[in-house]
């Protein structure tokens, strides 16, 4: 049985629905790239996930703009994690898109190698479980992070609150 709607309406509906899915997919891929890129030690590619003046607000430090994010990746501290063995392991994101803005939420685990060679069965430990609330905007180059707010899940009230605001698409 043929659809009674005019082809024009069906095309427009498909284009709208497909764009919604593409937006959500692109945002999920952007967030999924963070872990491999930061553990790979790539300052420029990590910073490029944010807008030029994007904010990365972690418990200990707030980085403002790509230069400060690059500096974090290049820091002795971060390079030390990589040299010791480290996984910034992110979970699947829940994404809420509203036009040209979006909010995403996920957990992450920072897992580090406690030392020893592979042959000696090295043990890894979870250094931190963290809540991430991520605000994004659509730019000419695609979706970019405008503000990522990350709080360790150690009982501080801010962390569960961020998870709820992220899962319900509200700002941090």
Is there binding between residue 35 and a second copy (CB under 8 A)? yes
Measured at the alpha carbon of residue 157, what is the angle toward residues 154 and 161, in degrees to the nearest 5? 110
Q: How many residues at the interface with a second copy, by CB under 8 A?
A: 75
Evaluated on CA atoms 171, 158, 166, 90, the torsion sign reads positive
The 3-state DSSP class for residue 145 equals strand
53 or 115, CB closer to a second copy? 115
Task: Kindly state the smallest distance separating residue 46's Cβ from a second copy, in Å.
Answer: 10
Is there binding between residue 169 and a second copy (CB under 8 A)? no
Task: Kindly state the smallest distance separating residue 133's Cβ from a second copy, in Å.
Answer: 9
Q: Which stretch binds a second copy (CB under 8 A): 68-76, 105-113, 142-150?
A: 105-113
Footprint of a second copy on 139-158 (CB under 8 A)? 152-156
Is there binding between residue 37 and a second copy (CB under 8 A)? yes
Q: Which of 4, 61, 125, 140 binds a second copy (CB under 8 A)?
A: 125
Is there binding between residue 128 and a second copy (CB under 8 A)? yes
Paired sense of beta strands 50-57 and 142-152, if any: parallel
DSSP labels for 74-142? HSHHHHHHHHH-EEEEE-PPEEEEETTEEEEEEEEEEEEE-S--GGG---EEEEEEEEEEEEEEEETTE
């Amino acid at each position: 049985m043929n659809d009674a709607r005019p082809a024009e309406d069906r095309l427009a509906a498909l284009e709208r629905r497909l764009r919604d899915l593409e937006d959500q997919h692109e945002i999920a891929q952007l967030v999924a790239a963070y872990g491999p890129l930061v553990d790979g030690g790539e300052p420029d590619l990590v910073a490029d996930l944010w807008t030029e003046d994007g904010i990365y607000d972690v418990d200990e430090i707030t980085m403002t703009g790509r230069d400060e994010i690059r500096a974090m990746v290049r820091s002795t501290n971060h390079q030390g994690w990589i040299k010791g063995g480290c996984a910034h392991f992110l979970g699947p994101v829940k994404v809420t898109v509203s036009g040209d803005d979006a909010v995403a939420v996920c957990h992450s685990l920072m897992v580090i190698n406690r030392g020893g060679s592979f042959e000696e069965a090295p043990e890894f430990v979870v250094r931190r479980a963290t809540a991430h609330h991520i605000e994004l905007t659509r730019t000419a180059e695609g979706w970019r992070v405008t503000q990522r707010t990350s709080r360790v899940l150690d009982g501080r009230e801010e962390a569960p609150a961020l998870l709820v605001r992220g899962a319900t698409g509200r700002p941090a």
